[in-house]
Structure 1
């Protein structure tokens, strides 16, 4: 890498507030808040709204929309397929 062209890449803790889960990774994100990690070091901590621990897709709680069922329900309720 060329000097003075790239942002500072360092260890950061990302904390998911919804799930109470935190993980250590490397990033260019910065924060004024710090946290003492399990290894005894102090790292900047970035709070995130959602991560893989709390995202419905990854937790298996994702809702699927039954569009075909909704169309059939509409046709039953209001009569279906009449030509004008």
Structure 2
């Protein structure tokens, strides 16, 4: 790696606003806010709107779209036969 071309890669806490969940990871993200973590160290904290703790796909609350029902409804409305 060339010196002075890459941002600092350091420990950062990300806090999910929706779930109230925080996790420590390494990132180049910066923040003026800090938080004292469980290990007694102080880290920058970045607020995020959504993470795996609150995203519908990961929490199992995602809705599935009934595409087969839509095709059948279209064929009933417009009288088309499927050519498959």
Q: TM-score range by the shorter chain?
A: 0.7 to 0.9
- 1:62 deviates by 1.1
The number of aligned residues is 81
Counterpart in 2 of 1:80?
79
TM-score (norm 1): 0.83
Partner of 2:46: 46
Higher mean alpha-carbon deviation, 55-64 vs 10-19, is at 55-64
1:1-84 pair list within 5 angstroms: 1-76=1-76, 78=77, 80-81=79-80
Worse-matched range after superposition: 53-62 or 11-20: 53-62
1: CA distance between counterparts of 2:78 and 2:73? 10
Q: TM-score, normalised by structure 2?
A: 0.83
Which runs of no fewer than 5 residues in structure 2 stay unpaired?
Answer: none
Q: Provide Cα deviations, 1:31-65, integer angstroms capped at 9, x if missing partner.
A: 01111111111110001111111111111111110
1:70 to partner: Cα distance: 2.1
